[in-house]
Amino acid sequence: MIANEEYAYEMSTREIMRELGVELVDLEGESCCGSPIRSLNTRLWLYLAARNLSLAERTGLDVLCLCSGCFESLLEAKHFLENNEALKKWVNEALSLEGLEYTGRCEVKHLVQVLHDDLGVGRLREHVKKELKGLKLASHPGCHLLRPSKVLRADDPEDPRKLDELIEASGAEAIDYPEKLDCCGAGLLLMKPEGTMSFAGTKLKTLAAREVDGLVTVCPACHVVFDKRQGAISRQVGVDKRIPIIYYPQLLGLAFGIEPERLGIHLNSSPVEQILSKI
């Protein structure tokens, strides 16, 4: 598993996987996936991505990504290297200094794929101890889980359903809404924060009007925007209602009967206590 800087996301993932009987192996020696420098230095991005993949290959295991940005970065790097022998040769020459080699053997999977496709919704339901009936939740799949769709993605880029089906495995209702596929604007946060506020604010306005009980995320960047920046965004776009933002494994963990603190619920900045009060 690729580690994550959002502690609540990683904590809750470890808890639900333990409940499901899945052993997670930390990738020793991993580094950044390279995504932040991709537009500045393509070769360095490919090297960093291939380095992580080669470390995973050495374990004989596939890669589990919690971060959709890492998922997109590693998948895109695999695509580049599998279709450009010259780049692959250059990368392997660089990796050889560490005694590593990239072959392309391991698969890269997002948490949504592992839970929905590999384990299955039925298996998740078997572990539910407290159905979250009565909760009306919206999903935010996020861009990098689905696009660019020329490279195999985790779900249908035009009509993603997997996260909604995972939400419903908890007993909650997953609602549909027109802005479901809209970007959160995280990519603009440092350079043009007003753009982020516009993107995220549009979605928050819609969800406030629909009176949802919360928004479910599976990407740390998206979560940070909606959860930690919600106050500033809401003030900017004129939304009075605060909306609980919760990671999917946190939601599933609650349905599994796991204590909220073990799921990192206390680390969320949005009013997730509203969700706790309804279950």
What's 68's domain CATH number?
1.20.1050.140
Residue 149 has pLDDT above 80, yes or no: no
Residue 99, phi-psi category: left (phi > 0), alpha (psi -120 to 50), beta (remainder): left
Residue type, 202: T
Average pLDDT over residues 225-250: 94
Same domain, 139 and 94: no
- Give the end of a domain, one of 82, 110, 138: 110
Same domain, 80 and 103: yes
Q: Write down the pLDDT at residue 140.
A: 98
Residue 190 has pLDDT above 90, yes or no: no
| Structure tokens given for 193 | 């924060």
41-48 long-range contacts (CB < 8 A, ≥24 apart) are: 43/87, 43/90, 45/73, 45/77, 46/77, 46/80, 46/81, 46/87, 46/91, 47/91, 47/94, 47/95
Strand partners, 139: 216
* Three-state DSSP class for residue 268: coil
CA 274 – CA 218 distance, rounded (Å): 20
CA 114 – CA 210 distance, rounded (Å): 30
Residue 152 has pLDDT above 80, yes or no: no
Torsions phi, psi for 122 (to 5 deg): -60, -40
Residue 114 has pLDDT above 80, yes or no: yes
Residues in Cβ contact with 271 at an 8 Å cutoff, skipping those fewer than 6 apart? 242, 243, 244
Give 71's Cβ-side CA count (13 Å radius): 29
CA 85 – CA 243 distance, rounded (Å): 48
Q: Write down the pLDDT at residue 201.
A: 95
| pLDDT tens for each residue of 1-42 | 998 889 999 999 999 999 999 999 999 999 999 999 998 999
Is 152 or 214 the better-scoring residue by pLDDT? Answer: 214
Count of the separate structural domains present in the chain: 2
Lowest mean pLDDT among 13-22, 128-137, 229-238: 229-238
Lowest mean pLDDT among 11-25, 146-160, 181-195, 210-224: 146-160
CB atoms within 10 A of CB 122: 8
Strand partners, 109: 64
| pLDDT tens for each residue of 261-271 | 999 999 999 99
Q: Write down the pLDDT at residue 150.
A: 77
The residue range of the domain holding 82 is 7-110
Strand partners, 219: none
pTM of the predicted structure, to 2 decimals: 0.96
- Give the end of a domain, one of 65, 90, 110: 110
To the nearest whole number, what is the mean pLDDT of the chain? 96
| pLDDT tens for each residue of 32-84 | 999 999 989 999 999 999 999 999 999 999 999 999 999 999 999 999 999 99
Same domain, 34 and 80: yes
Strand partners, 65: 110
List the CATH number of the domain containing 151. Answer: 3.40.50.11810
| H or E element in which residue 246 lies | strand 245-247
